[in-house]
Structure 1
Amino acid sequence: MKGPLSSHKKVLIISSEFPPNTGGIGNHAFHIAQWLSKQQYQVTVLADIAGYSDSPINNFSSTLPFTLIPVLRKEFVVFTYASRMVKALQQAAKSDVIICSGKFSLWLMMAIGICFAGKKRIAVVHGSELDLKQPWAKKLTTKALGYANAIISVSHYTKQFIPATLTQKIPVYIIPNGISIKDFDGFADKEKSTDATLQLITIGSVSERKGQLNVIQALPELLLHYPNLQYHIVGKPVMQPMLEKTINALHLKPYVVFHGIMEQQQMLQLLAQCHIKLMLSNHTSSGDFEGFGIAILEANALGLPAIGSSNSGIADAIKNGETGILVMPADIAAITAATQQIINNYTAFSTAALEWAKQHDWQLIIQQYIAIIEGN
């Protein structure tokens, strides 16, 4: 594997979240840190971590191939902000390249750009941080992004929310999210249901953005074609009570299973036994939207085709008509037709989905980051 052009270059990654917390931005930052470390970069991660004390964080940090500096949440939020700023400037002073990912981290780009104008600064934008509804927050984000030397967008959909005043003067690169194919070894060959039951699944916090309600509202029509289907909902049950009211009103209780938050291995076992991954995400009125849809690729890695929203970053995660089908999230007729098309051509869709996932292995994706890090 081709290594970095500048051996032992020091890279600082500032992320608004990070494991052991869950979240797409944190997972993304973790893999960038991990794979840059494998390429001989000296990586330090500065990240907000909530709900953990020093001891478990230290135990977690000791297993990592890079340095993790946590910003633990304090009782008064202003102290958290101050701690984040001080640590960011201290670490930026020691680094050659600074990568900022997530809203609060992007805001630090301005201070880092002012204090360390000669250092390479890369902003990673995922989605919702670009469509903030508070005017002051939107202006601050735009101002901070102006201090980046390069902007990486995780999808074409996300890129369109970058202000034109920035894209005219700062290079913007589209690099999709990645997965580690090895994480799915041993699961892809699990037997799927051989009875007449169609197994559908959505993974992610039960929320307006993730669109579980869109699937539930499509179930009565789907049941006309697949009377024994089951819909599995995995994730933090934020809006579960509201969804349960709709389920009861539509008499769907026998067909929907809420699993809550699942341990990773159990979740992969369940995912491998399902047939189609549904991600009918919404672009909410608050500006929250799906920047890419990494959960699509995770399902693809187990041979599951996907049905996803065409009006989101998911459009980059699905090769329409091959690895899955894009639909408008509330279009019940389109959702039903997509399901039928996939089931009627399941082997072709499943094979293409697996190959598509392999093309997004972090081992390949990280090379695009390295090209930007090493570029002029």
Structure 2
Amino acid sequence: MNKKILIVTSEFPPQPGGIGYHAFHVAEQLQMHGYGVTVLADQRSKSGEEEMDFDKSLKFGVKRVTWKSIRMFMYLNRLILLFRLIKSNEVVLASGKFSLWMVAFVSLFYKKKYLAVIHGSEVNFKKQLLKKSVESALKQFSTIIAVSQYTESLISHLNLNTIVIPNGYDTKKWRTEIQAYQNLKGYPKLMTLGNVTTRKGQLQVIKHLPKLLEYYPEIQYHCVGLPTEAKGFSQVAVDLGVDKQVHFHGRLEDTKLQAMLMAMDVFVMLSKETETGDVEGFGMALMEANALGIPTIGSKGCGIEDAILDGKSGCLVAAESVSEFQEALYNILELPEVFKAEAKLWAETHTWEEIIKQYIRHMEI
């Protein structure tokens, strides 16, 4: 099993982004299974030092497109690099909208096995020109891998060879010696991890707090992640009189994140589709919380439906329904140990060690 595979991705660590970490874990696992792996990705920091240090630690090759202030030069260099790299690889996997366009174009010149991974937003554009361009690109791939049933449904009308392979979680992410923070007050304690944006749903949780306070007067809500829209959301909390219950922590390194997450009663992600079509394709943070035994509450109508085993690892609710949220929270808090055990069992079925077997099966067909 010595096939060479090229992974073309629009994001890649050490910079944040779910698509990037998905590509990283696929690359890492394929390398461990004997594949020759090369990743083509952009340098996203100006100096490139972060990427250089990170890439040195990897057991597979990473080719970076050097950062340029004029983006068109980066697009051109990326295409040139792709033409060079594709010649020596048998399988090409594209992830992220720019990667889909590029690889689809290059596929016109080289006969390879082409696979695309779709996460959600890149196949849900509201502007017809963007939507049609992505759909046209997808038709050049032999297999489309959707990360959730919801994501698959977004392209069902195209009648392409589509399969669903859920995201995996990294068993190395959490460390066994980390202890939960003991000084966090309140009950219940809720957390959302992710970029503070409309899509991730922090604002929706804040809007539910006035009603939840009637039943849980000590409730506290913690938001961890890039504070993109935190200022505006904070003002909403003030206007609703719940500013003392809402805490924005910004980005946290993994040990601090784990200690805080372990102190939570419930992990929450009430994701909503934005006006531009940006949508949650799966919700890997939910699975990572489950791995620590933290039950989850997530929204229906997006990829989160695949990330929660409803009534077992957590509960699915309509994002805007405070009554459904209240009921879900009550059910979890009534049986915390049962939900904790089920959450861990659910996470164990989604480790990358298990998920990668599905990728390999379809690459070998």
Q: What range is the shorter-chain TM-score in?
A: over 0.9
- 1:262–1:127 distance in 2 versus 1, CA, 3 Å: same
User: Residue 70 of structure 2 is aligned with which of 65, 69, 76?
Assistant: 76
Could you tell me which runs of 5 or more consecutive residues in structure 2 were left unpaired when the two chains were aligned.
Answer: none
Q: Is 1:338 aligned with 2:331?
A: no
Letter in 1 for 2:252: M
User: Residue 28 of structure 1 is aligned with which of 22, 30, 52?
Assistant: 22
- Match of 1:182, SS state, is coil
User: Residue 139 of structure 1 is aligned with which of 106, 120, 132?
Assistant: 132
Please state how far the C-alpha of 1:186 moved relative to its aligned partner.
1.1
Letter in 1 for 2:128: P
- 1:55–1:244 distance in 2 versus 1, CA, 3 Å: closer
Indicate the residue corresponding to 1:4 in structure 2.
none
Please state how far the C-alpha of 1:36 moved relative to its aligned partner.
0.4
Per-residue CA distance 1:63-109 (angstroms, 9 max, x = gap): 00100111233121111110111111211111010000001001112
- Match of 1:355, SS state, is helix
Letter in 2 for 1:240: A
Letter in 2 for 1:114: L
**1:226-265 alignment runs, 5 A limit:** 226-265=216-255
Indicate the residue corresponding to 2:154 in structure 1.
161
How many correspondences in the alignment?
A: 365
Q: Using the alignment, how far apart are the partners of 2:96 and 2:178 within structure 1?
A: 32
Q: Using the alignment, how far apart are the partners of 2:322 and 2:177 within structure 1?
A: 31
Once superposed, what is the RMSD of the aligned Cα atoms? 1.6
Please state how far the C-alpha of 1:198 moved relative to its aligned partner.
1.2
Could you tell me which runs of 5 or more consecutive residues in structure 1 were left unpaired when the two chains were aligned.
Answer: 1-6
Q: Using the alignment, how far apart are the partners of 1:35 and 1:285 within structure 2?
A: 36
Letter in 2 for 1:136: L
Indicate the residue corresponding to 2:116 in structure 1.
123
Q: Using the alignment, how far apart are the partners of 2:213 and 2:51 within structure 1?
A: 46
Conserved in 1, the CA contact under 8 Å of 2:222 and 2:249? yes
Indicate the residue corresponding to 1:288 in structure 2.
278
TM-score, structure 1 as length reference: 0.94
TM-score, structure 2 as length reference: 0.97
**1:214-229 alignment runs, 5 A limit:** 214-229=204-219
Compare 77-86 and 49-58 and name the one that shifted more: 49-58
Letter in 2 for 1:350: K
Q: Using the alignment, how far apart are the partners of 1:95 and 1:225 within structure 2?
A: 59
**1:191-230 alignment runs, 5 A limit:** 197-230=187-220
Indicate the residue corresponding to 1:152 in structure 2.
145
Compare 322-331 and 178-187 and name the one that shifted more: 178-187
- Match of 1:209, SS state, is coil
- 1:318–1:108 distance in 2 versus 1, CA, 3 Å: same
- Match of 1:183, SS state, is coil
Indicate the residue corresponding to 1:320 in structure 2.
310
Please state how far the C-alpha of 1:187 moved relative to its aligned partner.
6.1
Q: Using the alignment, how far apart are the partners of 1:181 and 1:103 within structure 2?
A: 28
Task: Report percent identity of matched pairs.
Answer: 39
